[in-house]
Structure 1
């Protein structure tokens, strides 16, 4: 069993945040294991190599994940997922602004959507078939690098000042002024907001709140003994009530209630969570 994030080749790190391998094995093959996935500052390409994945609809009905190769756009709310049996999911986690550079697809078209990856990435099925027959995890990582290189060779545009400003915003967990970012991108504030929305699928204010929220979420997971005020202060919230507001916005519930759900996740039940939590608590480097 494994849940681990791996860095891509150094030449690909401005496009890909990490490769994520999720390999769960449950003793009762037909039992569903629940995970309330919070929104994160990432776009994720999923390859379901083994097993079954279900997602919950807005009406809370469980439906099978619609595609073996799927791109999930920028989430702004919780997406409940259920795994079962011998489950293996290889993920390519893109930096949120990178996909626009690679494909030219406006990010709002993908936000909160599960999209058939074959409609976006020609030839992706060949890479999926390679993953099916990979001998080990290392082989999967090599295939991932090769796939991203193939995207790089067909990219629609080079990195521009807007994307560079966005990555600086992410590095600072959203704690930077919009006017400063616009100036760095050599745009007026209105133009920057328009370009930002096209690349990210949400406006800068919402994305800054999402970055702040996920920092608090990772802080709490890595330090379960901390009280919520300490979490809020460490994550640079003005006070605890501001943290609660963001949790309600992005999860629909309170911090305490959401982390009780987190304890029901498959990684917690399988004893994989602690190492992952500690790793994600570290600052992310883009270069």
Structure 2
């Protein structure tokens, strides 16, 4: 596009300047009639060229900005900034996304927000002040697959027809780390980590037999081994209980089978639990597990 505009500008310069010069020469040439006419012709201003002179190139316009507000901690904000920088550099957006901290109440809401539990409750109270995501995509004429919403996903993310109101970017997925050196020492393939609970059980037995007193540990055991297991199998973690709110629904077959397996691991000293939070993380990173 830049090359085309520059070529058009160059062509306009080449065409307009010779025409202007020719017009000036013709005016200065004395007429063959009386001296009065000659004087008139000489004093007559040069005819304006019908071709526009070369236009000055327009100053580059700044890309309009669209605000994305958030209340994330330093690590979360840094990760989000990386994604925003990649998007802005891709040139796919007509607007540049800029991050900003969530403002106080009473201000005009920003174009986009990342909401945590507390901010979400405040935002969703009263009359809706947002445009659902599926409407945004429809207005922009962008393809947006209507995927089924898993049952454990929070209900506020989907409308009455199961279409997304927002992206669930605040939800987390647990990740399992393993020690490649420990695998190699007991004859396990470091390049082929367990991909199922039963293959993990076989590996833990081999690690235990190889002298590792703490083959496996888990941070946040409730979130990972009950909540997340339920989500993976599309089973509810809780159910509505009339007007009383919600009641836990963790006695389904999926949850009972998994917790029975974890219980057997705990009794066999394959699994060690150090607390309800992230107490297991330093135990793994420090090499104890």
* TM-score, with structure 2 as normaliser: 0.22
Which structure shows the higher strand fraction? 1
Greater RCO structure (CA 8 Å; 6+ sep): 1
Determine which structure has more spread, i.e. the larger CA radius of gyration. Answer: 2
